[in-house]
Amino acid sequence: MTERTFTPALGRLAPVRHYDTVITLTRERLWRGLVVRHVAPHPDDVIVDVGCGTGSLAVLLGRARPEARIIGLDPDHDVLAVARRKAAAAGVAVQWRVGMGDAVQDAVGAGAASVVVSSLVLHQCPMSMKRAMLASMFAALRPGGRLVIADYGLQRTTLARLGFRLVQLADGIEHTQPNAEGVLPCLISQAGFRNVREAAAVPTITGTISIYTGRRP
């Protein structure tokens, strides 16, 4: 994989059309609900969902606060086609953009976002891309802007590590293992975010999904 290519939503496991079915295995209602709660969207928010995939989180955020401006960014035209249909069916307005997560500020404008969210993306990316994406999220946020990430983080127990093997089957070991070893809070801090913390940890049969929050000073 090069810097300009990406792992599709279900990795090498299955085509994108099966994504929404497979992802229910991750207790997605629970962790997506926690993301929305931590975002706590305001009417004047500009919220960017980086690696938005089939748009489930963007649609939930739009439902929670229809006045907010929601932007979904993903490099994959196929997932964005699903996302567009989902938002239209739900009657939720989302602006969709095609692009990589290391070019968020190009897609939405430097300092334009009040909140950046990203779910289940960083674990699929090489270390250099994880860093570049977090730097780009930082650049896209206005001072005081907030970051909320939901992704596979530190896998603390044998059971969690076993479950996470399913994810590693789909996405490979190389890019996923640093997440399992707990690299994310460190990378988020290194990108310049402050008050970085693991706000929640949700055990699933595919490993633990953590919610990380931080703030651009």
Ligand X SMILES: C[S@@+](CC[C@H](N)C(=O)[O-])C[C@H]1O[C@@H](n2cnc3c(N)ncnc32)[C@H](O)[C@@H]1O
CB closest to ligand X, residue no: 53
How many CB atoms sit inside 10 A of residue 165's CB?
15
For ligand X, the closer CB: 114 or 119:
119
**Nearest approach, Cβ of 208 to ligand X (angstroms)?**
16
For ligand X, the closer CB: 45 or 76:
76
CB 205 within 8 A of CB 166: yes
**Nearest approach, Cβ of 70 to ligand X (angstroms)?**
13
The site for ligand X (CB under 6 A) is made up of 6-9, 23, 50-53, 56-57, 74-76, 79, 100-101, 119-121, 124-125, 129
Tell me the sheet residues that pair with 97. 73
For ligand X, the closer CB: 46 or 209:
209
Three-state secondary structure string covering the chain? CCCCCCCCCCCCCCCHHHHHHHHHHHCHHHHHHHHHHHHCCCCCCEEEEECCCCCHHHHHHHHHCCCCEEEEEECCHHHHHHHHHHHHHHCCCCEEEECCCCCHHHHHCCCCEEEEEEECCHHHCCHHHHHHHHHHHHHHEEEEEEEEEEEECCCCCHHHHHHHHHHHHHHCCCCCHHHHCCCHHHHHHHCCCEEEEEEEEEEECCEEEEEEEEECC
Dist CA 147 CA 198 (whole Å): 12
**Nearest approach, Cβ of 100 to ligand X (angstroms)?**
4
**Nearest approach, Cβ of 42 to ligand X (angstroms)?**
22
For ligand X, the closer CB: 44 or 94:
94
For ligand X, the closer CB: 7 or 179:
7
**Nearest approach, Cβ of 49 to ligand X (angstroms)?**
7
For ligand X, the closer CB: 119 or 195:
119
**Nearest approach, Cβ of 180 to ligand X (angstroms)?**
15
